[in-house]
Structure 1
Amino acid sequence: MKKAVVSILLIGTMLVSTTSAVQANENKLDIEKVAIKSVENSQFIHSNNRQVKFVKKTYENLGTAVNQAKQGLVFFNSYELVKVVVLTPKAMENMMTQVTNGQAVVSNFVRISAYGEYISLLKADYALNTQADLMNSLYEDYKKARIQREQGLITQYELRLAEIAYEQARYNYLSAQNSRESAIMAINNMMGEDISKKYAVLQDNNITPSSQIKTLAEYTDLALANRVEIINKQNTLDLKKEQFRYDRAGMPTELDVQQQEYEIENLENELALTRIDVQQNISELYTGVESAMKKLEAMNYLAQQAEENYTAAQTSYENSLISLNDLNNAKIAKAQADINLKDAELDTWLVQTTMGMACNAGYMPTILQ
């Protein structure tokens, strides 16, 4: 009997522990969780998946028809029938490749959008925490200033400056709080969660910008090799050229040959323009990456300067060399510099990640239209 009771208690403890672990995980949020759930919930992706399923079904049906046509070759050695047997599977394969490539681009589009929303949330969260610390510190300073005013150690004007500093910090705190709430609602909506859902922990340990980047030429080469709009155009051109070879074997008219050559030339021009568009896109992104990294370097320097200035101001204030207002100004400047540095770090990571997607399949669905 005792063993049975112990077993029941152990099972109960395990269930409670499991439930607690699940609840704890639900109260945590990280950038990949946001991206994965956003992809799962995206109507854009669901619509694209339906298109892929339709093309796959069509491909299967045509496969059956082609097999029947192959059997017909035994009885009807027709050139047109041979062309159907050879080219139809390749045309459908090309279409399947294009819709599959489209899936990758659409997924990247939703993923980078989710990344952007989470970055906005982290910015607001960091600003909220920093402003909370600043507000509490300035409130303590304001309380000290009131006591000093009662003792005649400072003027009414100096007391008023301390009050204004606190009220401004309080306003900034409330503004940051509203920004955080708006960011959470946007993310919940993207993930398909209740927009009022809250999170106790926002993780950012895997969001660190790289200090080293590739050259523009290296990024461009990767993009030219991997971007789906180039791959799709190249595959379509190759298929058209193969179709032309078969058509020429069938003794076409001169007008038919001219039309085929015109279509091939158009496809070649489209491919060349697409490659130029990709190169331009990478060049623009590279400028953004360089700019973000330079800004990050500048914000890091300014944050260090603000830290040193605040440390010096504390020493000066303790030795009655500067006023409380001067100390508060240094304190406020330090808090803002910390916020600016964090924003720059997050922005740099996001633009570097965007560049990574741009050098792979891509992330702009409009290019597939």
Structure 2
Amino acid sequence: MKKYIVGISAALIMVFGAYTAYGAEDSLDIEKVAIKAIQYSTEVKAKASAADLTLDRYGKDLHVTNAWSASSVIYAPLNAQYQIDLSYGDLQITESSVRLSAYQHYITMLKNKYKVELQQKFVDKLTIENEDAENKLKSGGISEYDAGMIAANLAKERITLKKYQRSYDADVINLNKVMGEPVLNKYANFIDQNIKPSATLRPLEDYIQAGLASRYEVTSAESSLEVTKVRQAIEAPDKSQSMPLDYYQATTQYDLAQGQNEIAKARIQVELDLTSGYSELESRLRTWENTKILLESAQSDYDLVKQNYDLGRAGKDELITAEKDYMEAQIQVKNAELDAWLFQMKMELASGIGPGISQ
């Protein structure tokens, strides 16, 4: 039977210790966001209160030393630990779900932040080109049409930048809401160096073995059957005499079969969940690799168009299109990288206590 209460205590020590180390910095990283989201979550607080109430109710039965009945000495502590484990396990599942949600918010913010940064560089470049075009127009070094096209492109890309910036600003507000911070809080830096997919993919069998040993639905079903067996053993002398033997045996066998069936169903569900998740993870990693190949192609195309433009063999429209395609390829690589990392985190939790990929 899992002792979730011990795990919770250790986790809280790690959480508060890690959070204290950050201090009052003006930067955020994904783990800080997750920790603060868990601390602020009303759902987590409700589950924690329920777990504490369960501990208060059953804690006295964990260590019975002065009772004479087998029910008090054996069954009561076992059932108490089972009830406590159920409640604290439910709390851990909720914390993991909140953590994943915080991860997703941070990933979404990083995607839009990266788009803003690339677009800002593009606008800065076009701004310099526009200033140069205005100077050339005064000296007759460029036609009004070409100067107007450069100015129009700049205006268009500034509008795009504002759109990206609005999305990014909204993401930061959402992060503040998730953490319980003032919604207008600003941060000088969002750390993302640690958000990289693992270079090596664990075998599916490793995930399944870990999940079967740790997932809440499996361990709770196993503990339930253990409690049922002990209860039946204690009740056997009385019940076998108070009801027909055939009926008593059928009832006990049915209860055991039900418990074993619940374990089997839970194990099958966990294995299916992780197998499906593993296929999705492989797909995310392949997508990431493919975007890197497309990025190399987009960069080569841009370099060629830039060379032709410098030689007068390509127009400004072609150059801007190639540069935009190159920027989009960079964005796709970053998005795929972040998505692959997030799904790896989902698999790690799904092969632990949970939640599952499909939950």
Return closer, same or farther for 1:63/1:133 CA change in 2, 3 Å cut-off.
closer
Give the C-alpha shift of residue 35 in structure 1. 0.9
RMSD: 2.5
1:319 correspondence with 2:307? no
Is the CA contact 1:38–1:191 (under 8 Å) kept in the aligned structure 2?
Answer: yes
Deviation at 1:294, TM superposition (A): 0.8
Aligned residue pairs total 334
Residue 106 (structure 1) aligned with residue 94 (structure 2) = yes
**CA spacing shift, 1:168–1:281, aligned 2, 3 Å:** farther
Cα distance in 1 between the residues matched to 2:148 and 2:250: 86
Q: Is the 1:162–1:325 Cα contact (8 Å) retained in structure 2?
A: no
Deviates more, 1:344-353 or 1:257-266: 257-266
Q: Which residue number corresponds to residue 220 of structure 2?
A: 232
Partner of 1:26, secondary structure, is coil
1:215 Cα deviation after fit:
2.1
CA contact (8 A) 1:248 1:257 kept: no
The answer to whether 1:349 aligns with 2:348 is no
Matched residue SS, 2:90:
helix
Q: Secondary structure at the match of 1:362?
A: coil
Aligned counterparts of 2:34 and 2:249: Cα–Cα separation in 1? 50
Deviations 1:183-241 (A, max 9, x none): 11111011110001001111111111112102222221221111121001001011112
Residue 155 of structure 1 and its aligned partner are, at CA, apart by 7.5
- CA 1:23–1:88 in 2, change beyond 3 Å: closer, same or farther? closer
Q: 125, 138, 162: which is aligned to 2:126?
A: 138
Per the alignment, do residues 154 and 288 of structure 1 end up closer, same or farther by CA in structure 2, a change over 3 Å counting?
farther
1:159 positional shift:
5.2
Report if the CA contact (8 A) 2:79-2:227 is conserved: yes
Report what 2:266 is aligned to: 274
Could you report, residue by residue, the CA deviation over 1:319-354 in whole angstroms, capped at 9, with x for unpaired residues?
A: 111111111111111111111111111111101111
Query: CA contact under 8 A between 1:109 and 1:365: conserved in structure 2?
Result: no
The offset of 1:249, in angstroms, is 3.5
Match of 1:16 in 2: none
Uncovered stretches (5+) of structure 2, i.e. residues with no partner? 1-20
Gaps of 5+ in 1: 1-21, 74-80
* C-alpha distance in 2 between matches for 1:178 and 1:259: 64
Is 2:82 the partner of 1:94? yes
Q: How do 1:180-259 and structure 2 match up within 5 A?
A: 180-250=168-238, 251-252=240-241, 253=243, 254=245, 255-259=247-251
Shift of 1:165: 3.3
**1:179 and 1:257, CA in 2 relative to 1: closer, same or farther beyond 3 A?**
same
**2 CA distance for matches of 1:100 and 1:129?**
43
- In structure 2, C-alpha distance between the alignment counterparts of 1:365 and 1:49, rounded to whole Å: 23
Residues 48-57 or 255-264, more deviating: 255-264
So what's the TM-score if we normalise by structure 1?
Answer: 0.83
| Residue of structure 2 in register with 1:29 after alignment | 28
Q: Would you say the 8 A contact 2:196–2:337 is kept in 1?
A: yes
Tell me the secondary structure at the aligned position of residue 166 of structure 2: helix
